[in-house]
Amino acid sequence: MAISARRPLSHQGPHDPAVPPTDYACAMTKWTPRHEAPEPLEGPVVATVTGGTIVWFVLFLVQLPFYGWFEDHGHLWWLWTCLAGGGLGLIGIWYVRKRDAAIRAARERDAAAAVAAKRP
């Protein structure tokens, strides 16, 4: 078995003197897309996050009566995962509502600026 002088891949980086920079350049160009990224999709974000949050809380409540069974079989983490999903969903609802309000305010500000610019 030959011993390699190179370090394991997990320790190599673009600034690693053991690896020539051309190795990284070739690898990146091979996988780098050559087209523009599409515009992000805008949709009913608040409704989507609210729906997902409700699903997490419903799953938590449905599993709650089986707490003993989950504990006996080592699956108690299922219950806590659902509760964590619901809690994080509440944070998500707060975030997307603030985001939508900021987007709406920016649009109104831009529209008001456009109307003001048209006035002589």
- Specify whether the CB–CB gap between 82 and 56 falls below 8 A: yes
- Quickly tell me which residue has 């515009």 as its tokens: 39
Round the average pLDDT of the chain to a whole number and report it. Answer: 83
Six token digits for residue 102: 């900021």
Q: How far is CA 118 from the centre of its chain?
A: 41
Cα dihedral sign, 87-88-94-100: negative
Q: pLDDT of 3-46, one tens digit each?
A: 545 545 544 445 555 555 555 555 566 677 678 878 887 889 99
For 74, counting Cβ atoms within 10 Å of its Cβ (0-12 exposed, 13-18 middle, 19+ buried), the class is: exposed
The pTM score is 0.63
